[in-house]
Structure formats: structure tokens, C-alpha cells
């Protein structure tokens, strides 16, 4: 008996959904088996993304080396991972104090990391420092600090673990970068500069170590959206036409900022951590984790730069005017 044509499309949708579900389940199972027994270093493991990565890789049976700037937070993360964990399936993580703002300590840190197991299979460079300010308000000391944390630190650590990776002809270095390593945004000059620098470094490194079997991956994500802010009620504009104009301008500026940063651009730590796991398993070389608007901006930067520059400049003028009218 032939099926009515009206039933064909729903059945195809259900079939496709079932195949997609099975595929995800298989990939999820494989992701755990692929990292088992691998020595994985995670920097800034106490951050939102770092914690999510730690839990994913720990459940997958990886031998974790967790790095962070605060010992108490590292111990707390250690307890959360080992409590109720099956010692037959998982390994107790090793903890290493790491502060990229203290570059003088990097030699000792690298030595301590290498002493844990003698080698590193996967290095996940997750540390980052953000700074939002007009160019003229950023001091040289702030510039140096953000470059240490976002560029010199990850590059130095990568150099430290590379020799054993090259000698073993195996290894994977993952840079968790920002979309601003590919697209500069106003009021984030130092941050964008550091992200561009580290992106270029790992792009060069990728080509240099490929012949040794070492994989280098970069993940460019948008803003981390750790929580959803509660909705706020905006008062109705006053009847006066000038007051209404001021209200609408301020409201439009603030609302567009919230929407852009929290809804359109934001990526949750759990989503990013899953992407990092998939990148390690599939050995992807470059990943852009962004919604349509940032992706369109990247294309505009490449093919229509003048148009993008004009849009960004107008946005700066509107934000300044909105502040003046508040």
C-alpha cells in the first residue's frame, strides 16, 4: 500500500532526525574513547570554559594536567572531578600553578608540566585577558600585561612542550582564541592586537610542525555567554519629541549592545568545550564558532573592508552620542 504523498515529508524529517541522533551518540561515545589515556594540559582550567573542558576530558579518561592562577580554585576543581569518579575509568588530575602575567616563572612551569608524565599529547591554550577601553586610555603597562597573558604566555608554553611532541612525532596544540583575532572591534585595541598576534603565531606553527605529525588547531569564538541576564522593563518615552528622541536613541544603543553580545554573538562554555573536544578528536585545523552576524563581518572585512570600516565608525559615533544624551 502506497503512502499518501502528504506523509512522505514528515517521515523523511523523522528519519533524518533519527540518523542525526544516532550519529551524535556514536560521535559522543567515540570522543570519550579517543582521548582515553591521553595526557591533556588545560590552561586557565578554573574558568568557565576550562572547567567544562576538564569535566569532559576527565570523563573521557584523559590524564589531565590542570593549570590555573589560584591554588584553592584548582583544588576545588580537583575535588569536583574526583568525587564519585570511578578510579578504574578515570585518572586523578595533576595541578600546576600557572600565571602568564609572570613570564619569569614560565621556565619552571614548563619543567613542572613535563615532569608530570614526561610528555604532553594535547595542549589546550585557554587563558585570556580582556580589556575594553579607548586607545588613549590604555597604558603601556596594560598593553604589556595583556600581551603576556594572551600572546607570550601561550606561545612560550607551546614552545616548551613541542620538543617531545616532535620527537614522538605526535601531538596536538589547540589555541582557544577569539573572533577578534580575525576581526578588530573598536575599544578593544590591545585585546584585538594580542589575539591577532597569537593567531598569526599558531598559523605559522601549524605549517612548521605538520611534517612531524603535530597538529595545530585554532578555535575562534565570539563572546562567552556564561549567564542570561534577566529582562529589564524600559520606561515609556516622554511625550516631548526631543525627550522621546533621546530615549529612543539611548534605548536602541543599549538594546543593540545587549542583543549583540548576549544573544547574537554569545557562546556558552559548555558549547565551546564540546567544540574543543570535537576539534581534538577530528584534528580540525581551524574552527570559527560564531553566529551569522560575526561571520558576515569576517567576509566584509575580506571583500568589502571600506564598508565594514564605515559601519564600525558609525557605531562608535552612535554609542558616544547616546552616552552624551543620557
The answer for residues whose C-beta is within 8 angstroms of residue 166's C-beta and 6 or more apart is 209, 212, 214
Closest of 183, 263, 176, 277 to residue 220, by C-alpha: 176
191 an active-site residue? Answer: yes
Cβ(202)–Cβ(218) below 8 Å: yes
CB burial of residue 114 (10 Å; 0-12, 13-18, 19+): middle
Query: Long-range contacts for 142-147 (Cβ within 8 Å, ≥24 apart)?
Result: 142/190, 143/190, 145/101, 146/190, 146/191, 146/194, 147/190, 147/193, 147/194, 147/197
* Catalytic choice (23, 117, 119, 191): 191
Name the CA radius of gyration of the chain, rounded.
23
The answer for residues whose C-beta is within 8 angstroms of residue 5's C-beta and 6 or more apart is none
Closest of 120, 122, 181 to residue 150, by C-alpha: 181
Cβ(176)–Cβ(48) below 8 Å: no
The answer for residues whose C-beta is within 8 angstroms of residue 256's C-beta and 6 or more apart is none
CA–CA dist 97, 202 (Å, integer) = 24
Cβ(45)–Cβ(53) below 8 Å: yes
The answer for residues whose C-beta is within 8 angstroms of residue 192's C-beta and 6 or more apart is 180, 181, 183, 184, 185
Which residue, chain included where needed, has cell 515609556?
A: 236
Q: At what angle do helices 48-59 and 269-282 cross, to 10 degrees?
A: 50
Q: Hey, which residues are catalytic here? A: 191
Amino acid at each position: 500500500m502506497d503512502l499518501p504523498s502528504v506523509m512522505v515529508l514528515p517521515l523523511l524529517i523523522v528519519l533524518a532526525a533519527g540518523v542525526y541522533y544516532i550519529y551524535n551518540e556514536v560521535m559522543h561515545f567515540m570522543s570519550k574513547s579517543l582521548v582515553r589515556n591521553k595526557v591533556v594540559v588545560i590552561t586557565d582550567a578554573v574558568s568557565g570554559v576550562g572547567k567544562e573542558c576538564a569535566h569532559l576530558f576527565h570523563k573521557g579518561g584523559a590524564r589531565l594536567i590542570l593549570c590555573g592562577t589560584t591554588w584553592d580554585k584548582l583544588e576545588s576543581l580537583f575535588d569536583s572531578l574526583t568525587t564519585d569518579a570511578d578510579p578504574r575509568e578515570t585518572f586523578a588530575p595533576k595541578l600546576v600553578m600557572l600565571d602568564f602575567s609572570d613570564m619569569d616563572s614560565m621556565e619552571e612551569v614548563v619543567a613542572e608540566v613535563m615532569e608530570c608524565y614526561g610528555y604532553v599529547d594535547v595542549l589546550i591554550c585557554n587563558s585570556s585577558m580582556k580589556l575594553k577601553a579607548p586607545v588613549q586610555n590604555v597604558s603601556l603597562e596594560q598593553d604589556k600585561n595583556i600581551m603576556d597573558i594572551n600572546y607570550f604566555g601561550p606561545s612560550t608554553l607551546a614552545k616548551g612542550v613541542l620538543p617531545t611532541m616532535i620527537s614522538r612525532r605526535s601531538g596536538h596544540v589547540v589555541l582557544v582564541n577569539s573572533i577578534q583575532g580575525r576581526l578588530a572591534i573598536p575599544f578593544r585595541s590591545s585585546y584585538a592586537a594580542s589575539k591577532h598576534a597569537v593567531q598569526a603565531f599558531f598559523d605559522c606553527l601549524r605549517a612548521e610542525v605538520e611534517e612531524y605529525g603535530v597538529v595545530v588547531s585554532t578555535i575562534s569564538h565570539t563572546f562567552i555567554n556564561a549567564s542570561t541576564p534577566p529582562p529589564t522593563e524600559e520606561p515609556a518615552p516622554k511625550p516631548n519629541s526631543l525627550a522621546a528622541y533621546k530615549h529612543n536613541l539611548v534605548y536602541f544603543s543599549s538594546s543593540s549592545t545587549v542583543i549583540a553580545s548576549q544573544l547574537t554573538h554569545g557562546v556558552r562554555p559548555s558549547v565551546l568545550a564540546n567544540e574543543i573536544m570535537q576539534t581534538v578528536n577530528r584534528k580540525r585545523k581551524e574552527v570559527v564558532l560564531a553566529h551569522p552576524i560575526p561571520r558576515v563581518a569576517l567576509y566584509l572585512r575580506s571583500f568589502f573592508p571600506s564598508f565594514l570600516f564605515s559601519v564600525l565608525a558609525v557605531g562608535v559615533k552612535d554609542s558616544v552620542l547616546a552616552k552624551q544624551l543620557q
